[in-house]
């Protein structure tokens, strides 16, 4: 009998539980005839959000012009709009030659890490992180090292801690702002301190800014490239979240910094972009209208808006809970509650998520799925209506109450 074909050993270190075993079990429960409330993925189209009309018009009207490959870096008019946005934000020397359009930010994260990493190079990542960053680092031969963003610090990093993690193999610092999964929005002063570390250590900066326009209350977004000057910085954005068209797979990265320092990286990115031919063409026609057209997100995040109401439902539910605590999300599409240690000392976030799915038919993502050690957290998306958010938290409360009762009987 011939041996099975074994996958790469690197995959053994990769996890993506957002679409992993729990999601598969949810599908099995649905197949058995049950309704599962799925709060595991930030996918606006699955929760009734529709593409803005002016983007649909741009998409559909240019389909006759979309049959062929485009430039490997993307349509010129799309890149011009992205470069103009970045310059308006204060990015240093960004033109269309420094903009790359991809099949979502996910592809560009992989492509950009591939362009710079040698085997064993270290990348500093937040913990918790969006796990694609860890996966792409590993799959491109790098080593993730994590800087803490604990709830006790409002899920913000510490620049001095990041500095202490640097060594001769450190290649880059990754920031996710506004943050997924925590909803943290990084203050300008903190970003400036991290930029100072990168400059002193000669490190490349990556900033995932896909949620840049989704902010609550008085939160303010500071583009990282507005602070980096001549320091090389890759900034990532796209249509998926602010413009609610995840399925269109239209993301971009812009490269800022001094011409001399970034030229080799720019050439490497161009080569890798050419190897995958080009990004999805039809969706690219919507990029310029999205960046230059009407604002369609502010009404959703302001008081009275749907996302604002869902966030408030999560905050109120946690405030009523006997078991939960949470730093209120200031941006993005997620809440990241935790089960209090005094309420349930022996808590296992993966067991909790599985029991919640089996017993209450609600699907959330354990905090450990985001490379958070000893997690007591779980992530939910804020995309459902407020009443659904409240319902899920009621189910969570029932399940935790049963857990507490069982534990009390065991202790007695």
Check whether residue 234 and residue 355 sit in a common domain.
no
Both tokens assigned to 252 = 């971009």
Check whether residue 246 and residue 380 sit in a common domain.
no
Check whether residue 130 and residue 45 sit in a common domain.
no
The mean-pLDDT minimum among 13-17, 150-154, 179-183, 279-283 falls in 13-17
What pLDDT score was predicted for residue 226? 97
pLDDT more than 70, % of the chain: 100
**Judging by DSSP bridges, how do beta strands 122-127 and 99-102 pair with one another?**
unpaired
What pLDDT score was predicted for residue 4? 86
Check whether residue 245 and residue 342 sit in a common domain.
no
Mean pLDDT value of segment 395-412: 86
Q: Do 305 and 299 touch, CB atoms closer than 8 A?
A: yes
CATH code, 176: 3.40.640.10
pLDDT digits (tens, 9 = 90+) for 303-357: 999 999 999 999 999 999 999 999 999 999 999 999 999 999 989 999 999 999 9
- Mean pLDDT of the residues in the chain: 95
Of 258, 292, 326, which residue constitutes the final position of a domain? 292
- Confidence bin at 409 (pLDDT 50/70/90): confident
Q: Is residue 24 part of a domain?
A: yes
pLDDT digits (tens, 9 = 90+) for 322-337: 999 999 999 999 999 9
- pTM for this entry: 0.95
Q: How many structural domains does the chain have?
A: 2
Of 292, 312, 344, which residue constitutes the final position of a domain? 292
What pLDDT score was predicted for residue 412? 64
Check whether residue 285 and residue 180 sit in a common domain.
yes
Check whether residue 27 and residue 109 sit in a common domain.
no
Residue 407 has pLDDT above 80, yes or no: no
Mean pLDDT value of segment 157-162: 98
Of 292, 324, 350, which residue constitutes the final position of a domain? 292
- Helices 349-360 and 386-411 meet at what angle, rounded to 10? 110
Q: Is residue 341 part of a domain?
A: yes
What pLDDT score was predicted for residue 12? 82
pLDDT digits (tens, 9 = 90+) for 86-139: 999 999 889 999 999 999 999 999 999 999 999 999 999 999 999 999 999 999
Q: Is residue 1 part of a domain?
A: no
Check whether residue 196 and residue 162 sit in a common domain.
yes
CATH code, 29: 3.90.1150.10
Q: Do 337 and 327 touch, CB atoms closer than 8 A?
A: no
Check whether residue 245 and residue 316 sit in a common domain.
no
Residue 10 has pLDDT above 70, yes or no: yes
SS (H, E, C) the chain: CCCCCCCCHHHHHCCCHHHCHHHHHHHHHHHCCCCCEECCCCCHHHHCCCCCHHHHHHHHHCHHHCCCCCCCCCCHHHHHHHHHHHHHCCCCCCCHHHEEEECHHHHHHHHHHHHHCCCCCEEEEEECCCHHHHHHHHHCCCEEEEEECCHHHCCCCCHHHHHHHCCCCEEEEEEECCCCCCCCCCCHHHHHHHHHHHHHHCCEEEEECCCCCCECCCCCCCCCHHHHCCCCEEEEEECCCCCCCHHHCCEEEEEECCHHHHHHHHHHHHHHHHHCCCCCHHHHCCHHHHHHCCCCCHHHHCCCCHHHHHHHHHHHHHHHCCCEECCCCCECCEECCEECCCCCCCCCHHHHHHHHHHHHCEECEEHHHHCCCCCCEEEEECCCCHHHHHHHHHHHHHHHHHHHHHHHHHHC
Check whether residue 180 and residue 280 sit in a common domain.
yes
Check whether residue 140 and residue 179 sit in a common domain.
yes
Q: Could you list the residue range(s) of the whole structural domain that residue 275 is in?
A: 53-292
């Amino acid at each position: 009998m011939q041996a099975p074909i074994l996958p790469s050993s690197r995959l053994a270190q990769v996890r993506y539980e957002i679409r992993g075993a729990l999601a598969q079990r949810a599908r099995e429960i649905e197949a058995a005839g049950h309704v599962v409330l799925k709060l595991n993925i930030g996918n606006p189209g699955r929760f009734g959000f529709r593409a803005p009309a002016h983007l649909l018009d741009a998409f559909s009207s240019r389909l006759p012009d979309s049959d062929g490959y485009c430039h490997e870096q993307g349509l010129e008019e799309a890149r011009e709009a992205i470069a103009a946005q970045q310059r308006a934000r204060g990015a240093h020397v960004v033109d269309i030659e420094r903009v790359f359009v991809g099949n979502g930010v996910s592809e560009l994260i992989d492509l950009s890490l591939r362009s710079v990493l040698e085997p064993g190079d270290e990348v500093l990542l937040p913990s918790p992180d969006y796990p694609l960053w860890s996966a792409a680092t590993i799959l491109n031969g790098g080593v993730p090292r994590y800087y803490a963003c604990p709830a006790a610090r409002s899920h913000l990093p510490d620049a001095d801690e990041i500095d202490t993690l640097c060594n001769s193999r450190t290649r880059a610092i990754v920031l996710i702002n506004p943050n997924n999964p925590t909803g943290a929005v990084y203050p300008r002063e903190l970003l400036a301190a991290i930029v100072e570390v990168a400059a002193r250590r000669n490190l490349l900066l990556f900033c995932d800014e896909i949620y840049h326009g989704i902010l609550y209350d008085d939160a303010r977004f500071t583009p990282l490239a507005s602070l980096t000057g001549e320091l090389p910085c890759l900034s990532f954005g796209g249509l998926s979240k602010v413009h609610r068209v995840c399925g269109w797979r239209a993301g971009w990265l812009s490269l800022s910094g001094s011409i001399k320092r970034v030229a080799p990286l720019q050439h490497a990115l161009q080569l890798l972009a050419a190897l995958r031919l080009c990004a999805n063409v039809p969706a690219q026609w919507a990029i310029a209208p999205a960046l230059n057209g009407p604002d369609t997100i502010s009404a959703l995040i302001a008081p009275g808006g749907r996302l604002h109401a869902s966030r408030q439902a999560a905050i109120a539910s946690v405030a009523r809970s006997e078991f939960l605590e949470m730093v209120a999300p200031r941006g993005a599409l997620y809440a990241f509650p935790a089960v209090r240690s005094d309420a349930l000392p022996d808590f296992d976030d993966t067991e909790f998520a599985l029991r919640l799915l089996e017993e209450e038919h609600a699907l959330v993502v354990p905090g450990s799925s985001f490379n958070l050690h000893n997690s007591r957290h779980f992530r939910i998306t804020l995309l459902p209506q407020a009443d659904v958010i409240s319902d899920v938290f009621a189910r969570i409360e029932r399940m935790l109450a049963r857990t507490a009762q069982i534990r009390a009987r065991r202790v007695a």
